[in-house]
Structure formats: structure tokens, C-alpha cells
Chains A and B, each alone.
Chain A
Amino acid sequence: MSEHAAPDRRPETETETDAGDEAALLATDVELGYAGLDEPVVDCDTVVVPEGEVTALVGPNGSGKSTLLKGLSRDLAPDAGEVLLDGRAVQEYGTKEYARRLGVLAQQNESPGDTTVENLVSHGRYPHRGAFEGMSEADHAAVERAMERAGVVDLRDEQVGNLSGGQKQLAFIAMVLAQETDVLLLDEPTTYLDLHHQLRVMEVVRDLNETADVTVCIVLHDITQAARYADYLVALDDGEIYDWGPPADVVTEELLADVFEVDAIVEYDTEPRIVPRRARTD
């Protein structure tokens, strides 16, 4: 398995036409970079996050997954191109208006250690409250729903500083859920978690997508996990989109060889199975 045919890239026109209408997020010709770098970190023609689906961004370290997510979440203004949320440029939204439409869970989260889980989750209501308004009944109800969805109701009075890494992640997810947005972006929510909490996080995400019809875009480190939980995969390689589509089309031995630089065996039964063999050194 040394030589590979050119990967079966989907024609970009198709991507635009079949998903453009129902795209929750649509990025066109975006270049994303950081001050002090000459080259953009991400340079993509079209990125589509279809409405009502779970889209996973995958790629090796440094491929630009998190940077692309920052561009989609308006955290990073693109040097070129534009990002649309529901057909409207993201810069046109007011800050709170945007936060009511799109929630983001950052890769690293912090809070004062003695914050209780319930208190933390209630911060998710920030975009729904005026500067001088207290928590309304609706706010309290949303906090309850979010804690139930994330499975942290039992932890409500616990201090965040006393939680395990996995519990903490679920608490922060509950905070983002309390925003009650149509679109949710998650940056590597399962990295560093034990297996139990990885699965719990992914189940929360899937449940949210299936029962509340929330559009999810999630950066995942683990390609097996991505293939298992996502409806669509966006594979990034060195800041560019290598392939886009349903997992069965995207996750191939070629992808693993070209993008992840591993020789692997990929099999599909009801779920994908990826067995990495060895790192490629060429």
C-alpha cells in the first residue's frame, strides 16, 4: 500500500448546490490565520455544516480543525472570504443575538473552583438576559433542561473544582446547552476524557441532535468516534479540505494514508471499524 490513486474528491459544485440551501453554516473561500503568520492556517473553498445534522471536523494535529471552528464561531475573523449563519454573514449579528443562535464549547474551559454546577450552567443564560435582568422562570427552566440533557442534575450543588475531568466537561456542556441555540460547535470535547465520559459526551451530542434537532459541528481527534457519531465528516489536511461527505465515503484507507499518515484497515459492518497498523514514514 505504498501508492494511492488521487482521492475521490467530491466536486465542489455539488457540495454547494446540494447543501447550500439547508446549510446552517456556510463558509466560502475562507482564509483563516493568526497575526504574525505569513501563511493562512486554513484555506478552504467551501465548508458546509448542514442544518439538523452532526458534522465532524477531523484531521491530524495542526491540520487546522480548531482554527476552522474558530472561524465558524466568529472567534477568528477570516482574512478573506465569508461565513454565513442561516444565510446571513456572521459579522452582521449582534453579540448576544449570535450567542442565542450559536453556542460554542471551547477546548479548554475554566471557572472559579467554588462555582457550583448550577451556577455555572446559569451563565449559559447570559445572552438571553438584559444587563440588569435577573433570572426569569424561563431561564430557570432552561437551566434545568440543560442539566437534565447533560446528565448533571445530581451534581448541581457540587463545586466545579471538585469534579472529575469528565464531569466538568459535562457541566460545561450543560452551560452551552442552556444557551438553547440552533447550532452548537464543540472543540474536541472528548479529548483527555476517560472512555465512559467520552461516550457520555457523544451520547449527549447525539441525543441533542436527534431530539432537539440541533445542528452540531464537532472537532474530533478520534476518527473512529467521528465516523460513528457524525452524519458528515470534513477531513482537513494541512489547512485544506481533503474530503467531505458521509463517513462511509470519507473514511477510507486512502484518507488514513494520505491525511493521517497511517496504514490502516477500514471495514464497515453496521459501524465503521478502523484498525491502524503502522505509521507511515515516507
Chain B
Amino acid sequence: MAGDVDGGLPSESTWRRGDPLVGVVVGGLLVTVVAGLVQIRFGAYEMPLGTVLDALLDTGVWFRPKVLATLLLGDGVAHFLGVHAATDHLSNPTFVVWTMRLPRVLVGVLVGANLAVAGAVFQAITRNELASPYVLGISSGAGLAVLLVLTVVPTAAGLLPVAASLGGAAAFVLVYAIAWRGGTSPVRLVLAGVVVATVGQSLQTGLFYLLDNKAAVSKAIEWTTGSLTGVGWTQVHVAAVPTLVVLPLLVIFSRQLDVLMLGERTASSLGMPVEYVRFGVAALAIVATAAAVAVAGLVSFVGLIVPHVVRTVLGGSDQRRLLIGCVVAGPALVVAADVVARLALSPLQLPVGIVTGLIGGPYFLYLLRRADPLTT
């Protein structure tokens, strides 16, 4: 895949011998796979690991393209494309794995990758290592939109993904409009983000009082803390489409981020149209964030911690390596956290955002305790 430095041919400088990036990629994949297998194995319907592997590798799925297509795309789309096949013949384990547990793991992967990459991008754009994907107002916009839908049309829960993405995007545009004065700057953008977030947060909290039943309240909490409960292939589709477009583009544009890290004045004197580039890259990162928010709500800390951890391993001078690291490390965190969220208090399922928050706080405590240049 994108193993090149400049969008050209692969070069040695991205994959060096004994490269820590290889370690990050292998480690990230390992954690994701192990956590994914645990997630698939345990739960209300428990099965031995052998059964899990049999189900995942079921020849009745893999060698029958129409069955595979029906499982992946859902009955409706498969019918529409004329590739529908009955899935009744599948064993119970295969059915559970393929229709319920695997898609949840995949959604976790997509959410983690998007949030981590978007976080890294926003940290580069704002040149602030403590920026998150939500720094430009998207969380308050999405949260407010979700609350509005739940209060005004409580029955329209199906609208929530759309509402969250649109609300987030609208907040981003608003932040840009507030920050714009013949141009922007990282500080102005962050401050405008604070303005929008503060107002949005207040409105959002106010709307909670208008929710009149417990179901709506827990739905709202689920959205504002981020949850993967009940996700399926539909959510995989929703998140996968933007992910497959946006993440490769961001990796390709990463050299622009490297130059932007030299400061706007230098970037501009090197011939970069700074405002266009910054807006374009931010917009791509917002799409990535919206893809995650639409399927999982506002999962906290992932977009903040993952780039931070990856940067301590890989350094911050090469954004392409950083983004590639985030693409694998983000899923590792979310999938592992979701195992805890789903199984720790089984049968009660926690929002995954609670678990990532519980991991995120102590991580910063660790940073504080370590003699780190960040804290001095």
C-alpha cells in the first residue's frame, strides 16, 4: 500500500531496516486480531476458539460468492445486485459470527482507524499535540444534532447517523467562519472550536432535560459517549465507503502536512497555498471523523491518544509514517476497548467510549509522571 514518501515510487526512507513502523504495524495488527477473536468467541453465545476459526473460514461462505455477498451486503442490496443467496444452510456459529460479531469488530476497526488518523491530522494542522478530531467543533455539532433529533422526533432513531454527520460538518463550517479573518491560524481555529464547543455543549445539556423517557436518555448517552452496541453490516458499509476514499487521500497528502509543520509563513514562502491546503486536509479529516461518529457516536480519547503514542514511537517529522501507524494502532485500541465494553459487565454492555476514556485518563497521568519535555 502507500509505502512511499512522496506519492511516487516506494523508497527506502519509509520502510527502513529494523524500522519501528514495522513494529507498530505488526503490534497493532496482532492486538486487533487477538482482541477480535476474543470478541467473536465470547458473549451470550459462547464457542470454543476452534469453532470461531471454523466459522470464520467456513467454506460454505468463502467458496460461495453469492452467500458471501449476501452476508456482507445484506439481503436488500444483494437482491438488488442479483447476487442474493439463501443463508439458511449455514451453521449457527457461522451465522452468529458472520452476521453479528464480525461486523462489530470491523466497525471497531473502521472507527479506530478514522479517529486516529483524523486526530493525527488535526494535531498537525493546529500544531498542537493535544488536539483531537473533535477540536474543530464536530463533537458538539454532532451531539447537538443527535439530541435535537431525539427530542423533536424520538421515533426517528434511523436518522441519527445522518444527523450526527451533518451536525458535525455544520459545526466545522461554523468554526471556520468564526476563525476566518482574511485567513486563519491554528490558534484562531482552536479558539473558534472552543467557542462552538462551549455553546453546543450547553445547548446539548439543556436538551437532555427535554428528553421524556429513559430509553431516549440512554440512547442520547450512548451517542455522546460513543458505543458499538448493536452495530452490524449496515454500519460497516456506512463507515467503509468514506474511509476507503479519505484515508488513502490523507496518506497521499501527508507531505503537505510535513511542510505545514514548518509554520504557515515558511510553508507559504515555499509555495504552498496554506489556506486551501489546510481547509482541504481539515475537510478530509472531518469526513473521516464523521464516518466514525455516524456509526459509533462520539468515542472519546482515541483520536487524542493514538497519534500521541504512535508519535512517541515513530517521531513527528514524517506525517506519512505517523498516519500509517495510526491506521493500524487506532483499530487496536478501539477493538480491544470494545471487548472490555461488551464483556466486562456482561450481559450489560457499556458504551466503548467509557472504556477508551478510562484508558485515556491514566495515559495522560503516565505522561505527566514521566520526565517528558511535554510537561516541562
Contacts and interface: CB of A to CB of B under 8 A. Distances in A.
Interface in A8-36: 35
B270 A126 contact: yes
Q: State the main secondary structure of chain A at its contact with B.
A: loop
A133 B259 contact: no
A105 to B, nearest CB: 8
A127 B265 contact: no
B93 to A, nearest CB: 46
B360 interface: no
A150 B285 CA distance: 38
Interface stretch (A107-115, A224-232, A234-242): A107-115
A279 interface: no
Nearest to A128: B271
A73 B271 CA distance: 11
Contacts of A179: 270
Interface in A92-120: 95-100, 103-104, 106, 108-116, 119
A100 B271 contact: yes
Contacts of A95: 268, 271-273
B6 A129 contact: yes
B4 interface: yes
A6 interface: no
B182 A112 contact: no
A116 B8 contact: no
A111 B124 CA distance: 11
Contact of A99 (B11, B256, B261, B271): B271
A132 interface: yes
Q: State the main secondary structure of chain B at its contact with A.
A: loop
A100 B270 CA distance: 8
Nearest to B252: A132
B182 A35 contact: yes
Given A132-B252, A134-B7, A134-B9, A75 B265 contact: yes
A71 interface: no
Contacts of B59: none
B8 A127 contact: no
Nearest to B181: A35
A100 B269 CA distance: 10
B317 A114 contact: yes
A141 interface: no
Please tell me the size bucket of the interface on A: 20 to 34
A219 to B, nearest CB: 14
Contact of A98 (B8, B181, B271, B317): B271
A245 B371 CA distance: 55
A102 to B, nearest CB: 8
Interface string A124-161: 10110101111100000000000000000000000100
B168 to A, nearest CB: 27
Contacts of A115: 317
Interface string B7-40: 1110100000000000000000000000000000
A122 B256 CA distance: 13
B11 A134 contact: yes
Interface string B247-265: 0000011001011011101
B252 A123 contact: no
A84 B256 CA distance: 28
Contacts of A159: 317
Given A112-B261, A133-B8, A99 B317 contact: no
A131 B255 CA distance: 9
Contact of A75 (B182, B258, B268): B268
B361 interface: no
Contact of A126 (B9, B265, B271): B271
B270 A133 contact: no
A106 B258 contact: no
B315 interface: yes
A52 B118 CA distance: 47
Interface in B63-86: none
A106 B266 CA distance: 7
B6 A135 contact: yes
A131 B273 CA distance: 12
B269 A99 contact: yes
B316 interface: yes
Kindly name the residue among B5, B182, B266 whose own CB sees the greatest number of chain A CB atoms within 10 A.
Answer: B266
Contact of A132 (B8, B258, B265): B8
B6 A106 contact: no
Interface string B211-224: 00000000000000
Interface in B288-321: 315-318
Contact of B259 (A114, A126, A134, A135): A126
Nearest to B256: A131
A35 B180 CA distance: 13
Nearest to A131: B7
Contacts of A135: 5-6, 8
A112 B7 contact: no
A132 B261 contact: no
A134 B4 contact: yes
Contacts of B261: 110-112
A107 B106 CA distance: 49
B266 A109 contact: yes
B8 A111 contact: no
Kindly name the residue among B4, B262, B263, B272 whose own CB sees the greatest number of chain A CB atoms within 10 A.
Answer: B262
Contacts of A124: 270
B184 to A, nearest CB: 14
Interface of B: 4-9, 11, 181-182, 252-253, 256, 258-259, 261-263, 265-266, 268-273, 315-318
Q: Identify the 4 closest CB pairs spanning chains A and B, nearest first.
A: A134-B8, A99-B271, A127-B271, A115-B317
Given A75-B265, A98-B271, A179-B270, 12 more contacts: A104-B269, A106-B263, A110-B263, A111-B262, A126-B271, A131-B7, A131-B256, A133-B8, A134-B4, A134-B6, A134-B7, A135-B5
10 contacts: A35-B181, A99-B269, A106-B263, A106-B266, A110-B263, A111-B317, A115-B317, A126-B270, A132-B7, A134-B9
